[in-house]
């Protein structure tokens, strides 16, 4: 599996978790489900740090993936639902735009494929 494919899979799962979290909070008014889905998002995002050590990955991309992982870990440590929801989104984010993980995927998509080594 290539790095871009793995990151796309994670990004898709994160978008789905965010969608389910919004439904849980705003339509079902289920704060416990909302909290669980955001924790799941943060835990999933923590795994991208493991991908930073792939051969052939640029230092810039590796550091970005590690930052995503560290931020997710910090959000969990703080037990901050606001922080978990905001993971991957800059302050000036506009709905429908790519999040920061999707922007990294776009950058990787124009480079040579990198195979994931486990």
The answer to whether residue 52 sits within a structural domain is yes
Taking only the tens place, the pLDDT of each residue in 48-87 is 999 999 888 899 999 999 999 999 999 999 999 999 999 9
Residues 23, 33: contact at Cβ < 8 Å? no
Q: For residue 117, tell me if it sits in a domain.
A: no
Number of domains comprising the chain: 1
| Domain ranges, residue 54 | 3-109
3-state secondary structure of 115: strand
**Does residue 44 lie in a domain region?**
yes
∠ Cα 33 105 8 (to 5°) = 45
Separation between Cα atoms, residue 26 and residue 59, nearest integer Å: 40
Task: Please give the Cα distance from 56 to 44 (Å, whole number).
Answer: 23
Whole-structure pTM value: 0.89
User: How many C-beta neighbours within 10 Å does residue 32 have?
Assistant: 8
- How long is the chain? 118
Most confidently modeled of 41-45, 54-58, 87-91, 102-106? 41-45
Q: Is residue 29 part of a domain?
A: yes
- Answer whether residue 116 is part of any domain: no
């Amino acid at each position: 599996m290539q790095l871009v494919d793995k990151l796309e899979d994670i990004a898709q799962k994160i978008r789905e978790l965010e969608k389910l979290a919004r439904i849980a909070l705003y339509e079902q008014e289920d704060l416990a489900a909302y909290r669980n889905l955001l924790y799941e998002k943060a835990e999933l995002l923590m795994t991208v740090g493991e991908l930073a050590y792939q051969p052939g990955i640029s230092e810039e991309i590796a550091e970005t993936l590690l930052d995503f992982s560290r931020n997710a870990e910090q959000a969990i440590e703080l037990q901050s639902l606001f922080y978990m929801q905001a993971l991957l989104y800059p302050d000036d984010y506009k709905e429908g735009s790519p999040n920061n993980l999707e922007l990294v995927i776009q950058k990787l998509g124009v480079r040579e494929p990198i195979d994931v080594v486990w």
